[in-house]
């Protein structure tokens, strides 16, 4: 007997994040005869809503920060209305509330996308979150997906190993039309060495460390520019820090870019200064564009970068070592090219997003089949 399409709701908190970029690339690749997708965002972004309206059955936003109570009530009503077979959550609050509202009416999956500090921090708020997360996952028999082996090890400190699996993130492998993108189209000088980084402007990403490292770089090589793509609550502090370090003229804060790829195309080196990462999606994207990558040796990043071969790894929280690696690549064009090409081939071979989608399809089908005794 042919199964009807599996109805999946994705619960996501922030509409501008690596999680959203991943979902935007994944959803169109699912077998539309077997799966129907709905997305509920806790916060609102007009452009994100428009993008997802084209690739899924329905998309909703709760305006959580405007009124938490109204948002939670709306979330409850939407879940009852859609009546999903599977609730797949990608953040803490969508999972906690959603599982409580649906109880036995659906199967549950949550993807842990990062090595979130609340898993290990000793403060009261983190402790409460750990207790709630652990209880909710155990009680509702949630299938937990981690994006790397390192995240899995961390999660298994509070959740039984039997319900945790790894599905690595993937990248949309395609032929990008980059021929008409030049440095001067983005108001950049053709002779400059361009460093680029991409992500939310918050503590996790370690952009304060990157700015300190870049100040050391410009003290030796003046013909360089740093482009920081993204927005967040640390932007003003980082802009002031750039002024204090005397590098404000050499640093560009672009703000959020719905399409950051033109900046990757014209750049020479990608730098990740993160304090923690679950996988490092933006790193993989940069590698796919052939950029040599320097990144911190944390979380799932070493699964992407073989030090000295597909990229350079440095210790976190160390602006001196980061600056040394940046200078090494600036001074050695052949090394930049070699690392960039090896990184690109590595991503193409091992991190095709179609493989990621296939594993999620299998996970969804297994969940539904097991619940019906098929």
Average pLDDT for 327-333: 97
HSE, CB side, 13 Å, CA atoms: give it for residue 210.
Answer: 28
Q: Is the pLDDT higher at 20 or at 104?
A: 20
47-82 confidence digits (pLDDT tens): 999 999 999 999 999 999 999 999 999 999 999 999
The pLDDT score that the predictor gives to residue 191 is 79
Residue 177 has pLDDT above 70, yes or no: no
Helices H, strands E: what count in the chain?
13, 13
Q: Which residues contact 124 (CB under 8 A, 6 or more apart)?
A: none
Residue 373 has pLDDT above 60, yes or no: no
The pLDDT score that the predictor gives to residue 104 is 87
The pLDDT score that the predictor gives to residue 1 is 53
- Map tokens 């997802």 to a residue: 52
The residues facing 111 across adjacent strands are 145
Domains with residue ranges and CATH for the chain: 6-170+352-372 (3.40.50.2000), 183-350 (3.40.50.2000)
Share of the chain above pLDDT 70, in %: 94
Average pLDDT for 307-324: 97
Q: Kindly indicate the confidence band of residue 2, based on its pLDDT and cuts at 50, 70 and 90.
A: low
The pLDDT score that the predictor gives to residue 105 is 86
The pLDDT score that the predictor gives to residue 50 is 96
The answer to whether the Cα torsion of 314, 316, 320, 323 is positive or negative is positive
Distance in angstroms (rounded) separating the CA atoms of residues 179 and 341: 18
Residue 185 has pLDDT above 90, yes or no: no
Q: DSSP string of 65-123?
A: TT-HHHHHHHHHHHHHHH--SEEEE-SHHHHHHHHHHHGGGSEEEEEE-S--GGGT--S
Please state, in angstroms and as integers, the Cα–Cα distance from residue 241 to each residue in 117, 203, 204, 237, 244, following that order.
Answer: 25, 14, 17, 6, 5
Share of the chain above pLDDT 90, in %: 86
Residue 176 has pLDDT above 80, yes or no: no
The pLDDT score that the predictor gives to residue 170 is 94
Give the mean pLDDT of the chain.
93
291-314 confidence digits (pLDDT tens): 999 999 999 999 999 999 999 999
Q: Kindly indicate the confidence band of residue 161, based on its pLDDT and cuts at 50, 70 and 90.
A: confident
The pLDDT score that the predictor gives to residue 374 is 45
The pLDDT score that the predictor gives to residue 181 is 62
353-362 confidence digits (pLDDT tens): 999 999 999 9
214-245 confidence digits (pLDDT tens): 999 999 998 999 999 999 999 999 999 999 99
Distance in angstroms (rounded) separating the CA atoms of residues 148 and 112: 9
The residues facing 250 across adjacent strands are none
Is residue 50 within 8 A of residue 79, CB to CB? The reply is: no
What tokens does 224 get?
A: 């360089």
Q: Is the pLDDT higher at 177 or at 107?
A: 107
Q: Kindly indicate the confidence band of residue 160, based on its pLDDT and cuts at 50, 70 and 90.
A: confident
């Amino acid at each position: 007997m042919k199964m009807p399409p599996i109805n999946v709701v994705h619960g996501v908190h922030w509409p501008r994040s690596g999680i959203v970029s991943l979902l935007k690339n994944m959803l169109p690749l699912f077998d539309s005869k077997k799966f129907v997708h709905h997305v509920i965002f806790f916060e609102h972004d007009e452009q994100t809503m428009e993008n997802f309206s084209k690739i899924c059955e329905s998309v909703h936003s709760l305006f959580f920060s405007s009124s938490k109570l109204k948002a939670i009530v709306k979330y409850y009503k939407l879940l009852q209305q859609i009546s999903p077979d599977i609730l797949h959550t990608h953040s803490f609050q969508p999972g906690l509330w959603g599982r409580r509202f649906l109880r036995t009416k659906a199967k549950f999956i949550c993807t842990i996308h990062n090595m979130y500090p609340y898993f290990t921090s000793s403060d009261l708020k983190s402790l409460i979150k750990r207790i709630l997360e652990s209880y909710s996952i155990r009680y509702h028999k949630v299938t937990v997906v981690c994006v790397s082996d390192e995240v899995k090890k961390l999660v298994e400190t509070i959740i039984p190993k039997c319900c945790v699996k790894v599905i690595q993130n993937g990248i949309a492998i395609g032929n990008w039309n980059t021929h008409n993108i030049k440095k001067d189209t983005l108001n950049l000088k053709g002779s400059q060495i361009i460093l680029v980084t991409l992500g939310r402007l918050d503590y996790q990403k370690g952009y304060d460390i990157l700015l300190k490292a870049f100040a050391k770089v410009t003290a030796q090589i003046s013909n360089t520019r740093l482009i920081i793509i993204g927005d967040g609550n640390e932007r003003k502090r980082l802009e002031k820090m750039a002024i204090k370090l005397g590098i404000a003229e050499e640093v560009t804060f672009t703000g959020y870019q719905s399409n950051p790829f033109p900046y990757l195309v014209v750049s020479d080196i990608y730098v990740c200064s993160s304090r923690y990462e679950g996988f490092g999606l933006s790193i993989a994207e940069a590698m796919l564009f052939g950029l040599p990558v320097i990144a911190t040796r944390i979380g799932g990043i070493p699964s992407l970068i073989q030090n000295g071969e597909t990229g350079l790894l440095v210790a976190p929280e160390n602006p001196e070592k980061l600056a040394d690696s940046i200078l090494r690549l600036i001074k050695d064009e052949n090394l930049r090219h070699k690392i960039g090409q090896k990184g690109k081939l590595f991503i193409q071979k091992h991190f095709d997003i179609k493989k990621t989608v296939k594993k999620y399809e299998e996970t969804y089908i297994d969940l539904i089949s097991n619940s019906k005794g098929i």
